[in-house]
Structure 1
Amino acid sequence: MAMGSLSDSDDDFNPEINTTPLVDVMLVLLIIFIITIPVINQSVKIDLPRASSQPQDLKPENINLDIDAQGQIYWNREAIDPSQLQIRIATAAQKTPQPELHLRAERTTQYEKVAQVMAAAQTGGLSKIGFITEPEKK
């Protein structure tokens, strides 16, 4: 019994990696891929319906409504009185698409004036109201 001997006559121990099982596995995988690739490339011809769509380029106009500290109302930088405001809001509400009302008020404007303009827009039929503010200075 030659345990731990370093002689060349011992043929039981082979320090090389046996690559035969690895080659067998690679050949099996190669055959599987050769069989499945033609199946993947096949497709079914179907006649799909065609639809045409046109993007809507109609963008609603914006109405700039400014209120100064004295309560004066400006419609797109044009001074108007409260009776003209009702008429212009009703006219703008009839347009398609309906314009958006951009409301800008000075810091010292009474809230009552802003609320009156908002109520006039609501009763006139304008549903989109945006508030314009200035960013805080750092």
Structure 2
Amino acid sequence: MAMSGGKDDGEPMMEMNTTPLIDVLLVLLIMFIITIPVQTHAVKIDLPVSDNDPSNPPPIDPVKNRLGITATNEITWNDTAVSLAQVQQFLAQTKSMVPEPELQFQPDPLSAYLTTDRTLAVIKDSGVSKFGFVGNEQYGSFNKAKRPPN
């Protein structure tokens, strides 16, 4: 008499069996999720195109400019590759600005000494008054990694 109810007295079961109803609802929910179209909302943005034309030099920032040397001995002015002659021109332009922008110099630890030395000579000859080294913390970790064990 387990089919007729939970008791042995033969009374009919008064609660509705909801398991099949829940199963059907879950299947319908999954079907609705699958059939919903994917929302493809896009915003079109026209980004500026990088122009590495030699006749269009990188801009000179009126507050600070970053002069760097990469590990492949490439000289960069505000993250754009330049030559030493161009660096001289940029430094002459910054020297004439009021107030003079700060020049931040950051050579890579793996760059050649000769390239760094020539660049520093150009900076010294330009007469820049606001000059500083940045990224010095990278040299401390570089030296510790290259130091032989005791």
Once residues 127 and 112 of structure 1 are traced to their aligned partners in structure 2, the CA distance between those partners, rounded to angstroms, is 23
Unmatched 5+ residue regions in structure 2?
1-61, 142-150
Counterpart amino acid of residue 100 in structure 2: Q
Deviation, structure 1 residue 103: 0.5
Q: Which residue of structure 2 aligns with residue 128 of structure 1? A: 130
Closer, same or farther: CA 113–96 of 1 in aligned 2, 3 Å = same
Deviation, structure 1 residue 134: 5.1
Counterpart amino acid of residue 98 in structure 1: E
Once residues 101 and 82 of structure 2 are traced to their aligned partners in structure 1, the CA distance between those partners, rounded to angstroms, is 19
- SS of 1:113 mapped into structure 2: helix
Structure 1 residue 89 and structure 2 residue 91: aligned? Answer: yes
Counterpart amino acid of residue 83 in structure 1: A
Percent identity over the alignment is 28
With normalisation by structure 2, the TM-score equals: 0.47
List 4+ stretches of structure 1 deviating above 2 A.
134-137
- SS of 2:116 mapped into structure 1: helix
Deviation, structure 1 residue 70: 2.0
Unmatched 5+ residue regions in structure 1?
1-59
Aligned residues: 79
| Larger RCO (CA within 8 A; separation ≥ 6) | 1
Q: How do 1:69-108 and structure 2 match up within 5 A?
A: 69-108=71-110
Deviation, structure 1 residue 96: 1.0
Deviation, structure 1 residue 102: 0.4
* Contact 1:121 1:127 (8 Å CA) reproduced: no
Once residues 97 and 111 of structure 1 are traced to their aligned partners in structure 2, the CA distance between those partners, rounded to angstroms, is 32
> Please, what is the CA RMSD of the aligned residues?
1.9
Once residues 136 and 126 of structure 2 are traced to their aligned partners in structure 1, the CA distance between those partners, rounded to angstroms, is 27
Once residues 73 and 128 of structure 1 are traced to their aligned partners in structure 2, the CA distance between those partners, rounded to angstroms, is 19
With normalisation by structure 1, the TM-score equals: 0.51
